[in-house]
Amino acid sequence: MGDPVTAAPAPRPGLSTELIVDTALRLIARDGADSLSMRQLSAELGVSLGATYRHVDSKDELLVLCGRRLCARSFLERVPGSDPLAWVRDQVMHFYDLLRAHPGMADHTLFAGNVDPDLSAAVRASLVEAGHSEANVEKVGLILTLYTAGALMAANRPTSPHPASNTRELIVSGIDFILRSYASDEPGSARPSEA
């Protein structure tokens, strides 16, 4: 039998890590990740701060969990027989749209090792199917990640040199350029500097 003074109270019935993450994502979509506080989250959930901390140890841990959830939500099923590079582009843009809808989540998602292994495998298989060598897939993935991060940073600037509607078209064009420019590692293949 545990010591009643040191035993942790049981979590509130109905409160779960999943509910906490979903609520946090809703607050992040409204106010941004930087504005999120564990106290605000607990109030939104209608529980004590301690009840929230029994499920999630810190705001940092919560943001990592939110990043994982966004990655899981971003996975689009590929239609059999569809253009593999078009699917990769659409996948990247869907991920971009989710991150834009959740301000401040890019670094907790893109660079926190949150990418779903099934999503990574699907992107890898699509790139190989489209003609990318196995050795080239990692490079293309990194370039797409950095490009997406840069696009998110530019899109979140209060004053952008491009109208919002044009920005999305520019990002799509950039993704297409990356996907098609690095399609082969073979000697003599087109590179961005040669194209």
Q: What is the pLDDT of residue 28?
A: 96
Q: Same structural domain for residues 6 and 86? A: no
In a domain, 37, yes or no: yes
Q: What is the pLDDT of residue 156?
A: 62
In a domain, 192, yes or no: no
At 191, the pLDDT band (50, 70, 90 cuts) reads very low
Q: Same structural domain for residues 47 and 142? A: no
107 vs 43: which has the higher pLDDT = 43
Q: Same structural domain for residues 97 and 167? A: yes
**30-39: long-range contacts, CB 8 A cutoff, minimum separation 24:** 32/103, 32/104, 33/63, 33/66, 33/102, 33/103, 33/104, 33/105, 33/108, 34/103, 34/104, 36/62, 36/63, 38/62
* Residue closest to 142 by CA, chosen among 155, 156, 127, 131: 127
Rounded Cα gap, residues 109 and 68, in angstroms: 7
Q: Same structural domain for residues 80 and 176? A: yes
DSSP state for residue 31 in the 8-state scheme: H
Q: Same structural domain for residues 150 and 97? A: yes
Q: Report yes or no: 34 and 59 within 8 Å, Cβ to Cβ.
A: no
Q: Same structural domain for residues 119 and 161? A: yes
What are the tokens at 55? 């499920």
State the residue range of the domain holding 26.
1-57
Angle 84-100/164-181 helices, nearest 10 degrees? 140
Q: Same structural domain for residues 51 and 81? A: no
In a domain, 144, yes or no: yes
In a domain, 70, yes or no: no
Q: Same structural domain for residues 35 and 85? A: no
Q: Report yes or no: 181 and 191 within 8 Å, Cβ to Cβ.
A: yes
Q: Same structural domain for residues 111 and 140? A: yes
pLDDT surpassing 80 at residue 85: yes
* Residue closest to 179 by CA, chosen among 70, 100, 91: 91
Total domains in the chain come to 2
What are the tokens at 71? 């990655």
The phi-psi region of residue 187 (left if phi > 0; otherwise alpha if psi is between -120 and 50; otherwise beta) is beta
Rounded Cα gap, residues 111 and 147, in angstroms: 13
Return the CATH number at 12. 1.10.10.60
In a domain, 69, yes or no: no
pLDDT in tens, 146-184: 888 888 777 665 555 555 557 888 889 999 999 988 765
In a domain, 71, yes or no: no
Rounded Cα gap, residues 18 and 107, in angstroms: 21
Q: Same structural domain for residues 166 and 124? A: yes
The end-to-end CA distance of the chain, in Å, is 73
In a domain, 62, yes or no: no
Q: Same structural domain for residues 84 and 176? A: yes
Return the CATH number at 168. 1.10.357.10
pLDDT surpassing 60 at residue 193: no
pTM of structure: 0.77
Q: Same structural domain for residues 103 and 154? A: yes
In a domain, 63, yes or no: no
